[in-house]
Chain A
């Protein structure tokens, strides 16, 4: 069995987002980075499927040279190897990202055979375009099911549960397929120390696609005005309980 997981490096934004001087990016000078949350669950699912069925697992990302950290993180969880579509740090729109990933996936498949499943996050935490996985699926001519909270192999098919209002909708599609997943699909494991050690020597293939002119072109970012909340202190410690209860009564919920 062959499984791929596509991930994105995103900053851990903390409590307040600061922008760069030209307002075209987040100021990440004092921020850490992580795998975008939905995609972390795609990585975990890929590792579980290969643990259960044996085979080859690959993690792909399009991002700056530093994104190798997230590829190593995915390999520390158990992914076998990585493909890094390296950029110069400029923003790529979703359409261009999907095009470059499609090309890299096709190249790997022509050498090693098709992936049974390619995992994506339903949407990235930062740009939230809701489309990269779907575009890659269309390019490959494969079925794509989105927003998944449960994935079960059933022979040559996969049963997919998608969260909707009032429960879950079920889809059953033939493999090979492209699946976009959401956090809650599983609880990603913490990397073990031996896992981290092994990840250091796992192979990372680097390709450098050229960036096409974006058709969804970022002009600038802005932090929206606050909601105008002005905190009123109800006191401190256990002595504040009375004021809290009075507030709840006033709000009509007690």
Chain B
């Protein structure tokens, strides 16, 4: 029995293979098989390949593009689709465990489908170290599948340290109090060569641009140290912090969820504590 896997470069696709092998012998279609990226054409190619192979299931990594192409395949083939799974057991029905709320909740579900369509949530499953599955030959895309395709690329405009790649992040929440209040956050970030982050409450209030937001609907970060100042720690925010190595929480409320989920805490007024940390760093230079 064959299983079809949409492959990208990098870890998430190797992790996807780990679950896919339970469903059969993997064959692959590369996500860059059709360039520029044209998701409808890829979905059509996957559907044809799945039919020709009589594939028992189709898998992709739960990346933005993996989920997008798989949803189009599901719509095209009129099949259900389980996104961001962390476990899947073959059978009728297929039993899956998938992420909800950006990983703050797990869902056990049954997938009733003649051909299960499953994406695997990145960094939740061990990577497969077997051979790369052989590629399937694809048909030429039809013009009608090329209406939606990438026609241009715009480079990021923001200078400074990128949030997703930052080693240190100094982040502020509602407790910072105002747009101007971020001056002390920026000062500490500059001393540490860190990126400035914030919570959703801050972007909703218009104090910082959305590009600074850490969380489920913002950027998911993986720094060595994350310093959270005046952030309560709603699940929306915590969903962006799963990759952080060390979390330091500064908050006046010792019972704030982030204070209970941090590695280090400082209790008190961030307007005194943050400048004091900056001063201490300067003193030691």
Contacts and interface: CB of A to CB of B under 8 A. Distances in A.
Contacts of B154: 161, 167-170
Q: Is the interface of B mostly helix, strand, loop or mixed?
A: mixed
B68 A134 contact: yes
Interface in A127-148: 127-131, 134-135, 137-139, 143-147
A contact patch SS: mixed
Contacts of A244: 248, 264, 266, 273, 277, 280
A238 B276 contact: yes
Interface stretch (B13-21, B49-57, B205-213): B205-213
B72 interface: yes
B272 interface: yes
Interface range for A: 35 or more
B151 interface: yes
A248 B75 CA distance: 50
Contacts of B218: 183-184
Interface stretch (B22-30, B172-180, B234-242): B234-242
Interface string B64-107: 10011011101110011111100000000100000111111111
Contacts, number: 258
Given A13-B235, A126-B100, A169-B153, A251 B74 contact: no
Q: B148, B236, B277, B281 — which one has the most chain A CB atoms within 10 A of its CB?
A: B148
Interface in B179-225: 192, 200, 203-204, 206, 210-211, 213, 216-218, 224-225
A240 B151 contact: no
B153 A253 contact: no
User: How extensive is the interface on chain B, given as a class?
Assistant: 35 or more
Nearest to B104: A17
B263 A231 contact: yes
Contact of B206 (A164, A187, A217, A233): A187
Contact of A16 (B75, B79, B257, B267): B257
B106 A224 contact: yes
A137 B277 CA distance: 53
Given A17-B104, A234-B265, A183 B80 contact: no
A134 B72 contact: yes
A130 B100 contact: no
B29 to A, nearest CB: 18
Contacts of A129: 81, 83
18 contacts: A13-B104, A131-B74, A138-B76, A161-B154, A183-B213, A184-B203, A184-B211, A184-B217, A184-B218, A187-B210, A217-B93, A218-B108, A219-B110, A222-B106, A236-B266, A240-B266, A241-B279, A251-B224
Interface of A: 13-17, 26, 37-38, 93-95, 98, 123, 125-131, 134-135, 137-139, 143-147, 161, 164-174, 182-184, 187-188, 213, 215-224, 226-227, 229-245, 247-248, 251-254
